[in-house]
Chains A and B, each alone.
Chain A
Amino acid sequence: DVKVTQSSRYLVKRTGEKVFLECVQDMDHENMFWYRQDPGLGLRLIYFSYDVKMKEKGDIPEGYSVSREKKERFSLILESASTNQTSMYLCASSLSGPYYEQYFGPGTRLTVT
Chain B
Amino acid sequence: AQKITQTQPGMFVQEKEAVTLDCTYDTSDPSYGLFWYKQPSSGEMIFLIYQGSYDQQNATEGRYSLNFQKARKSANLVISASQLGDSAMYFCAQSAGFKTIFGAGTRLFVKA
Contacts and interface: CB of A to CB of B under 8 A. Distances in A.
Main secondary structure of the interface of A (DSSP, over half): strand
A107 B43 contact: yes
Nearest to B95: A98
A106 B102 contact: no
Nearest to B99: A45
Interface in A67-113: 88, 90, 92, 98-107
Interface residues of B, number: 28
Contacts, number: 58
Contacts of B47: 101-103
A104 B33 contact: no
Interface residue range, chain A: 20 to 34
Given A101-B47, A104-B37, 11 more contacts: A35-B102, A41-B104, A43-B91, A48-B98, A88-B43, A98-B31, A98-B96, A98-B97, A100-B33, A101-B35, A102-B45
